[in-house]
Structure 1
Amino acid sequence: MEAPWNETIEVISVRKVLMHLIAETARHAGHADILRETLDGRKAT
């Protein structure tokens, strides 16, 4: 019996993985910067 979440295996390129990692890192760094500015009131330069 096949698992329903394992229907097909998609081949993903290294480029696509790296672009995803860069985008996620930038997004989370932006969130951390917003939190820091909220806590200390200073803007990043």
Structure 2
Amino acid sequence: MQKWDDRLRLTVNQTEKLHDRTEAQKTRRKCLMTGRKCKKPDGNAI
């Protein structure tokens, strides 16, 4: 059961990472459209 739990957690993490990446791409695209220099929530410029 423990092994399955770990595998599930890994998939959830991968999904979250993927989601973060798509969100970042959306933000970047929005920035390109507005033509403004954009900052990521963590303060780094995209």
- The normalised TM-score by structure 1 is 0.63
Q: Let me know the Cα RMSD of the aligned residues.
A: 1.9
- 1:31 corresponding residue in structure 2: 22
| Number of equivalences | 35
Give how far 1:43 is off. 5.2
In 1: Cα distance, 2:4 partner to 2:21 partner: 26
Shift of 1:40: 1.9
Unaligned runs of 5+ in 1: 1-10
Structure 1 moving runs of 4+ over 4 Å: none
Identity %: 6
Structure 2 residue runs of 5 or longer lacking an equivalent are: 33-37
Larger radius of gyration: 1
1:20 corresponds in structure 2 to 11
Give the number of the structure whose residues are more often helix, by fraction: 2
